[in-house]
Amino acid sequence: MQQHAGQHILSAAFEQLFGFQTISFHLGKDTVTIDLNVTEVSEQQLKEAEQLANQIILEDRIIETKWVTEEELFNYNLRKATSLKENIRLVIIPDFDYNACGGTHPTSTGQVRSIKILQTERQKKIVRVEFICGERNLTHLHRKHQVLVNLVSTLSTPEDKIINATKNLLEQNSKLAKQVADLSNSLLAYEAKELRESAKGTTITCILENRSMQELQKLAKLVIQETPKSICIFVSNNQDKLQVVAAKGNDVEQSMKELIAHVLPYINGKGGGNERMAQGGGEKILTSEQLIEKVISYI
């Protein structure tokens, strides 16, 4: 009843202040929405409509119902024309809202207690206004307050500084992420250099621990860039699986796709790639060393 009567009041407020008509409404479980037949509603207009609606509530005006005939309808300035011809029930908030409605309402506006607009959403030819009334306002406030209290303690920041503190954290976070990415790239470059320098032939192999496929590929790319006659085979020994990458330098004929396709069945693996670089992952049926041996013997 609070939400429903609140809808009557807020719709009437928009109409009276700005001539915005409510063309439809929806009573949800928690919130109500009304669709206004305009393409824009300013913050100031929202504020004024909310203020007027709450003023009508504060004045605790009577909400009366009256059965009228089609002829008697002309005595009332209805907010929305009705198509009913008989048994017309009017819901009246004197000097404010006259509306044909069959719903259940409280007996006075004061029982609606409060109206709070939550947000608006612009759609094609309307603006949808979402709001909340009465007891639900308290539940809503309680929930939001809990979130805020939690944030204040988590961030150790007073309430009025939470927004800035959060923005700073996010900024810091993206700076750090960039730094980590730069550092990882430099580290990979060093690793690649070391692998090239310690290589004993044209097949460069290495067993690594818990590396992502992306890292293995980057590393392989860095190594073969400067060793066109080499093939790189990198295996990462991860928690529950083995991952393998094979990459070749420009002067090597052999297909990495075929190479990987040949060894993956040994570890029930899946993967793919192209002639220059291929990769895959599978079960730890073999050790990393055994997997590398299979690759070398195929080469």
Binding segment for Zn ion (CB under 5 A), chosen from 100-108, 202-210, 251-259, 268-276, is 100-108
Handedness of CA 198, 199, 200, 204 (dihedral sign): positive
103 touches Zn ion (CB under 5 A): yes
Closest approach, Cβ 47 to Zn ion, in A, equals: 25
Tell me which residue has its CB nearest to Zn ion. Answer: 101
Q: Which stretch binds Zn ion (CB under 5 A): 22-30, 93-101, 141-149, 162-170?
A: 93-101
Between CA 110 and CA 100 the distance in angstroms is: 21
* Per-position x/- string for 145-184, each x denoting binding to Zn ion as judged by CB under 5 A, each - no binding: ----------------------------------------
Q: Is 106 in the site for Zn ion (CB under 5 A)?
A: no
Q: How far is the CB of 100 from Zn ion (least distance, A)?
A: 9
Judged by CB, which is closer to Zn ion: 99, or 205? Answer: 99
Rounded distance between C-alpha atoms, residue 296 and residue 299, angstroms: 5
Which residue lies nearer to Zn ion by CB, 2 or 279?
Answer: 2
- Are 38 and 126 within 8 A, CB to CB? yes
Question: Side chain identity at 143, as an amino acid letter?
Answer: R
Stretch that binds Zn ion, among 13-21, 99-107, 146-154, 220-228 (CB under 5 A): 99-107
CB of 161 to Zn ion, least distance (A): 44
* Residue among 101, 244, 252, 277 that touches Zn ion (CB under 5 A): 101
The stretch near Zn ion (CB under 5 A) out of 102-110, 239-247, 254-262, 268-276 is: 102-110
Nearest distance from C-beta of residue 109 to Zn ion, angstroms: 13
Closest separation between CB of residue 103 and Zn ion, Å?
4
State in angstroms the smallest separation of the CB of 125 from Zn ion: 25
CA 123 from chain center: how many Å? 19
Pick 53 or 101: Cβ nearer Zn ion: 101
DSSP H helical segments within the chain, as ranges? 2-18, 43-58, 135-155, 162-198, 213-225, 256-263, 288-298
- Which residue from 197, 268, 261, 203 is spatially nearest to 229, judged by alpha carbons? 203
Bridge partners of 32, per DSSP, are: 27, 131
Instruction: Between 98 and 234, name the residue whose CB sits nearer to Zn ion.
Output: 98
Contact region with Zn ion (CB under 5 A), list: 28-36, 41-49, 97-105, 150-158: 97-105
Residue nearer to Zn ion on the CB measure, 90 or 260: 90
Residues 6+ apart with CB under 8 A from 230: 199, 202, 203, 204, 223, 224, 248, 249, 252
CB of 104 to Zn ion, least distance (A): 8
Spatial contact of 113 and 137, defined as CB atoms under 8 Å apart: yes
- The bridge status of strand 115-122 relative to strand 127-133 is antiparallel
Q: For residues 254 and 231, give the distance between their C-alpha atoms in angstroms, rounded to a whole number.
A: 9
Provide, rounded to whole angstroms, the least separation between the CB of residue 105 and Zn ion: 6
What is the token pair recorded at 214? 């992306």
CA 153 – CA 251 distance, rounded (Å): 61
Size of the site for Zn ion (CB under 5 A): 2
Which amino acid is residue 68, in one-letter code? V
Rule CB under 5 A: which residues touch Zn ion?
101, 103
